[in-house]
Amino acid sequence: MSRQIPPNTVSRAVDRAQGDIGRRIAQRREALGLSREETADRAGTAPGYIRYIEEQPTATPGVGVLIRLADVLETSVAALRGGDADLPPGVGRAARHPELLVLDTDECRARLSTHGVGRLAMDTPSGPYIGPLNYTVVDGAVVCRTAPGSTPAAADGARVAFEVDHIDEALSQGWSVLVRGRARAVTDPAAVRRLEELSYSAPWVGGEGLMWLSIDTAEISGRRIKVDR
């Protein structure tokens, strides 16, 4: 029997996506390192209007403005509207002449940056496991928190892999950085306090009484898809 979807379900989802236009514009602008003034100048509008779009959830910029902003922000109107918000990354078409580049160690570490969300890969008695964790880089090591007794917690003392990547649907390009090293639980009270002071944020899923995992980054590699346009 086919499942009937209430007719207003899709419209509510679209409304939420439309209300997030400002957030997506701000995120994309900041990712490109553009100020509001620079963005407004290139899009042929006023900085105050860019601020209004970004800060007012009810702002509904016209198609003409969105087309110009999408061009300035190197993305698409559909992406700014959230048309691909619930789609898995990588559904766009490949570019015609992509080039796969190997990243050197310095660039890998730069792209790993200071914090973000990555995926932990490890062996378990029931088979391979891969799961997302938000992380912070402290003293060159990837550190993250998880619940005692969870699958990631069992990585203590084991060799694991940790991957961070970025996919740009608009430009059909992206990069990935892979860390392979030994994970260990951080239990020293002074070390735990230091990690709590330096960590960028608490785990997105919340929780209390979490344990710290540290993954050394002695083995680090990466690749980037370059597209000439």
116 and 205 co-located in one domain: yes
Q: CATH code at 182?
A: 2.30.110.10
pLDDT one-digit tens code per residue, 11-49: 343 334 445 889 889 989 999 999 999 999 999 999 999
Going from the C-alpha of 184 to that of each of 145, 190, 200, 211, the distances in angstroms are 12, 16, 20, 10
Arithmetic mean of pLDDT, 124-133: 95
pLDDT at 3 over 70: no
Cβ-count burial of 57 within 10 angstroms (0-12 exposed, 13-18 middle, 19+ buried)?
Answer: exposed
pLDDT at 1 over 90: no
Asked if residue 143 is part of any domain, the answer here is yes
Paired tokens of 206: 């919340």
pLDDT one-digit tens code per residue, 187-205: 999 999 999 898 887 777 7
39 and 74 co-located in one domain: yes
Residue 146, phi then psi, degrees to nearest 5? -150, 165
DSSP state of 104: P
pLDDT one-digit tens code per residue, 164-187: 998 876 667 889 999 999 999 999
Using alpha carbons, select from 36, 31, 64, 58 the residue that is nearest to residue 49.
36
Asked if residue 176 is part of any domain, the answer here is yes
Q: Where is mean pLDDT largest: 88-102, 149-163, 166-180? A: 149-163
Asked if residue 86 is part of any domain, the answer here is no
Which residues sit opposite 62 in a β-bridge?
Answer: none
147 and 205 co-located in one domain: yes
User: pTM to 2 decimals?
Assistant: 0.63
Domain assignment of residue 130, given as a range: 98-227
Helices marked H in the chain — which ranges? 7-19, 21-31, 36-43, 47-55, 63-72, 77-81, 105-112, 189-198
Asked if residue 93 is part of any domain, the answer here is no
Paired tokens of 187: 């239990």
Q: Which of 46, 81, 116 is the last residue of a domain?
A: 81
Q: What long-range pairs does 24-30 form, CB within 8 A, spacing at least 24?
A: 24/79, 24/80, 24/82, 25/50, 25/53, 25/54, 25/69, 25/73, 25/80, 26/54, 28/73, 28/74, 28/75, 28/80, 29/73
Asked if residue 92 is part of any domain, the answer here is no
103 and 45 co-located in one domain: no
pLDDT of 127: 95
Q: How far apart are alpha carbons 223 and 102 in whole angstroms?
A: 5
